[in-house]
């Protein structure tokens, strides 16, 4: 059995001498893992297409133990390789978070859409905001907003569950407004932002039961 879909690359693990197991969050099938044969060979045509964060069209053959990634067509690479090390590490952290919180083969198109919207927004060029999400404070805030939206989309969080009315209003805005509006119009006080970070770190650690590997680079 074969299927076609599109998705964002979340994770890659070396396998054997020349292969990789690639984890992709797809529009139609949720999170899947498939083996990309020969992708580590220097002349492999697939190699550049399955980099972390890439948005690809894929053709997959169902396997008994693991699926086989037979064709890959790059839709957008988002230019993550051109970001600063700090910003690239933050993106890899968010990809790892999606991988950690989502089950295999459970369709949720909103997670796929959220990933693509976020990566598209970060890759938009133009002054006065630098490539890779703009000012450092913008990028840090938008990374936190992504986490809120992801937790909400997966059913782990709702701003309505918060008791403090001011905190509830802040989280509701971040939960519901689009990234562009938040980037251009929302300004949080330092104390509000620290509360946001503390809340998210605590919730994510509770959900994952461990610290993510990429956390040490943040």
pLDDT in tens, 58-92: 999 999 889 999 999 999 998 888 888 888 998 99
d(CA 140, CA 208) in angstroms, rounded, equals 21
pLDDT in the model for residue 131: 40
CB neighbours of residue 82 within 10 Å: 12
| 94, 146 contact by CB (below 8 A) | yes
Q: Taking CA 42 as the corner, what is the angle to CA 39 and CA 47, rounded to the nearest 5 degrees?
A: 35
Q: Please report where in the chains the tokens 């998705």 appear, as a residue.
A: 7
Phi first, then psi: what are they for 65, rounded to 5°? -105, -35
Q: Which domains does the chain have, with CATH numbers?
A: 2-76 (2.40.50.140), 82-217 (1.20.1440)
pLDDT in the model for residue 101: 95
Confidence at 28, pLDDT banded by 50, 70, 90: very high
pLDDT in the model for residue 128: 37
d(CA 30, CA 98) in angstroms, rounded, equals 11
Q: Is the pLDDT reported for residue 127 higher than 50?
A: no
**Stretch 191-199: mean pLDDT:** 84
**Stretch 112-125: mean pLDDT:** 90
The percent of residues in the chain predicted with pLDDT above 90, rounded, is 50
Mean pLDDT value across the chain: 87
| 215, 206 contact by CB (below 8 A) | no
| 57, 72 contact by CB (below 8 A) | yes
Report pLDDT digits (tens) over 128-152: 334 444 456 678 889 999 999 999 9
By the 10 Å C-beta count (0-12 exposed, 13-18 middle, 19+ buried), 74 is classed as middle
pLDDT in the model for residue 133: 43
For residue 7, the cross-strand partners are 26, 56
């Amino acid at each position: 059995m074969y299927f076609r879909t599109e998705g964002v690359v979340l994770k890659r693990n070396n396998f054997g001498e020349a292969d990789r197991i690639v984890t992709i969050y797809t529009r139609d099938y949720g999170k899947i893992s498939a083996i990309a044969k020969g992708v580590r060979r220097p002349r492999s045509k697939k190699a550049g297409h399955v980099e972390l964060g890439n948005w690809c069209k894929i053709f997959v053959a169902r396997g008994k133990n693991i699926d086989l990634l037979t064709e890959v067509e790059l839709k957008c690479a988002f230019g993550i390789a051109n970001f600063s090390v700090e910003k690239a590490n933050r993106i890899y952290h968010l990809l790892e978070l999606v991988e950690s919180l989502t089950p295999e083969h459970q369709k949720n198109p909103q997670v796929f859409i959220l990933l693509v919207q976020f990566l598209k927004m970060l890759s938009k060029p133009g002054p006065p905001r630098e490539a890779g999400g703009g000012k450092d404070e913008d990028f840090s805030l938008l990374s936190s907003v992504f986490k809120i939206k992801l937790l909400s989309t997966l059913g782990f969080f709702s701003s309505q569950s918060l008791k403090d009315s001011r905190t509830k209003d802040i989280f509701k805005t971040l939960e519901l407004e689009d990234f562009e509006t938040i980037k251009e119009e929302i300004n949080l006080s330092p104390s509000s932002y620290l509360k946001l970070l503390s809340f998210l770190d605590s919730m994510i650690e509770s959900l994952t039961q461990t610290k993510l590997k990429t956390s040490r680079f943040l």
